[in-house]
Amino acid sequence: MSRRVIEVEGLVAEYPVRVGFFRRRRVRAVDAVDLHLGRGEILGLVGESGCGKSTLARVVVGLASPSAGRVLLDGVPVPSRRPPEMRRRVQMIYQDPGSSLNPRRTVLQTLAEPLRRHRLVPAEGIEGRALELLEMVGLGRRQLPALPRELSGGQRQRVAIARALAVEPEVLVADEAVAALDASVAGAVLNLLRDLRDRLGLTVLFISHDLAVVRGLCDRVAVMYLGSVVEEGPVSEVFAQPGHPYTRVLLDAVPSRGRRHPGVAVRGEPPSPLHIPSGCRFHPRCPEATALCGESNPPEARRNAQRVMCHFAWRPEHAAEPHGQVSARTSPTRTA
Amino acid sequence: MTVSPPASGPDVVVKPRASRARLWTRSAAAWLLALTILAAVFAPLLAPADPGQLTLDQLQPPGADHLLGTDALGRDVLSRLLFALRTDLMLMVFAAGLPMLIGTLIGAVAAYYGGVLDAALRWVADIFQALPVYVLLIALVFVLGPGTSSLLVAFSVLGWVVYARLIRTEVRRVREQEYVSAGYLLGLSRTAVLFKHVLPNSLRQSFVYLATDMGMALQGIAVLSFFGLGVKAGTPELGAMVSEAQLYLRSHWWLAAFPGVTIVILGSSVAALGDRLSGRGEVGR
């Protein structure tokens, strides 16, 4: 992995909510997250809905400002209100193809606006460049004068990608970009993303709740639970030897043929970020939790490029051990 | 968002068929309104006489010389009616358009940026809702003194709140659409996003209300003029014409009848078109 395009350091994102009639509280949607994206890499970010994936995405692109921590672009910390030139470098692709395009604008108008705004091409070259962008995402001249309502969901998503590419960004943040599409259309859009990475050297932060998709597309994966990253590493390692019980639960929930043992089920619903459990935030639902898990924050365990935040990383059999013996960094050499 | 497929598949959007009577009303309204506007525009050419010209042919019934008769000062009623259309249509457009412009700007900015501005707007809007608008309208014009400009000021001061309220709801909905944040990420300033992406997609309800409001403005102007609070005395205006005809209501019916009927027709045409506006456009949303 080459240089880091984006680094996220100790990021905290909060938003106010009303509890009761007068009282307001701040909810931590993202709590002390560290992440980085190498140039040309596709990082998958997975987790249940409500775990803070989208909030993290909004902070990374600059739609929301962090309460603490910082985002670095090419090693340079970005201000909380980014100037247009800086916003340009990180673009977002949204989930809902129905609302990602202005319904009153034709495709040409949609693509022309960012080109004009940044004077990326001379005025007479705008239509040509728009067509070029459309062809890059697998559409053509026929779609130029179309309004969004005349396009299918997959076509709209392609236009949204073309619009993001118009400003020649370095990073694309795709927030559940294929969740609303049919399987076949979703596959085509995923191929497009991979293709764009290969051809343009784009870096992609791919947010999804679909592990199968992440396995097929991404180089690395980060697993989020209730606002923090619990496991992170290369896809091949994380999927082969998940270190965190939550990751194992997620993987077991993916239906697959030829699985021998029945999956481990998680207990209960994900707790609300208004009431974050003490210690390891997963412990109330963890099939392997001990008393220790509820008391102290889990340490970081590392193995190769894999990072896991768990007292008993890679060790599902730990339950037999008395928890007093378990020290912070026991795991790196052992295998499950 | 309704997606209408190009060919007739099983999901073709079926428009509910408007009843024949309603269709007829709408097209009649459109024709009448178009006719009225043309008549107003070409009033100087169409009018058989100078609307201010006093003659000795006073209180003539409708006939060959004066198609709609003459009034107590011997002025040709048809000519006055045509010129009154000019005054009233003009006033109607501004008495509804100015409040819309002001209210939409205030409401959109407040809703888009939120915070204190938005809270203040909600507070003002709630207060206005408790006020008797028409009583205040009359009082305000009375204080400002009769005349076109005080009419417009009064309508603007009292009318903008409804538009602000309408646009506020819409802007808060559209603000959350993804193309809005995309516009910002692509490099537009927040203000540019408001005017290029948010406002154009928020205005429909306001235009529907504008049509209704124009009808109400027309009647408001006529009523105020009837009470002598509208346009300057002597200016041809429908409400003022009815007012001047009061004394002759029993003996000279045409003096009140023609301008009165015109007010009714014009008001209901505008209202019918507003109705049509609100019915259309649900598709493609």
Sorted by where each begins, the domain ranges of chain B are 22-43+69-279
Q: Give the residue among B42, B243, B224 at the shortest CA–CA distance from B137.
A: B224
Query: Is residue B20 very low, low, confident or very high in pLDDT (cuts 50, 70, 90)?
Result: confident
Domain ranges of chain A: 242-333
Any A CB within 8 A of B135 CB: no
Any B CB within 8 A of A154 CB: no
Assess contact for B249 and B241: CB atoms under 8 A. Answer: no
Strand partners of residue B117 = none
Instruction: Identify all chain B residues contacting A101, using CB atoms and an 8 Å cutoff.
Output: 179
* Tens of pLDDT, residues A148-174: 999 999 999 999 999 999 999 999 999
Q: Which of residues 255-284 of B touch A (CB under 8 A)?
A: 284
Q: What is the pLDDT of residue A220?
A: 95
* Tens of pLDDT, residues A96-155: 888 999 999 999 999 999 999 999 999 999 999 999 999 999 999 999 999 999 999 999
CB spacing of A87 vs B284 below 8 angstroms:
no
* Tens of pLDDT, residues A200-225: 999 999 999 889 899 999 999 999 99
Q: Average per-residue pLDDT in chain A?
A: 86
Percent of chain A with pLDDT over 70: 89
CB spacing of B186 vs A104 below 8 angstroms:
no
Q: What is the pLDDT of residue A318?
A: 53
Instruction: Identify all chain B residues contacting A85, using CB atoms and an 8 Å cutoff.
Output: 187
Would you say residue B129 has pLDDT above 70? yes
Distance CA B17, CA B279 (A): 12
CB spacing of B186 vs A114 below 8 angstroms:
yes
Q: What is the pLDDT of residue A117?
A: 93
Specify the 3-state DSSP secondary structure of A33: strand
User: Within 13 Å, how many C-alpha atoms sit on residue A176's CB side?
Assistant: 18
CA distances from residue B99 to A186, A302, A330, B143 in whole angstroms, order as listed: 48, 65, 72, 19
Residue appearing with tokens 């670095």 = A72
Any B CB within 8 A of A290 CB: no
Q: What is the pLDDT of residue A146?
A: 94
Average pLDDT, integer, range A44-49:
90
Q: What is the pLDDT of residue B219?
A: 87
Any A CB within 8 A of B182 CB: yes
Q: How far is B33 from chain A (nearest CA, A)?
A: 29
* Tens of pLDDT, residues A283-323: 888 888 888 888 888 988 898 889 999 988 887 655 444 44
Q: What is the pLDDT of residue B280?
A: 58
Would you say residue B283 has pLDDT above 60? no
* CATH architecture label of B22-43+69-279: Orthogonal Bundle (1.10)
Q: What is the pLDDT of residue B133?
A: 85
Q: Which of residues 44-73 of A touch B (CB under 8 A)?
A: 61-63
Would you say residue A259 has pLDDT above 80? no
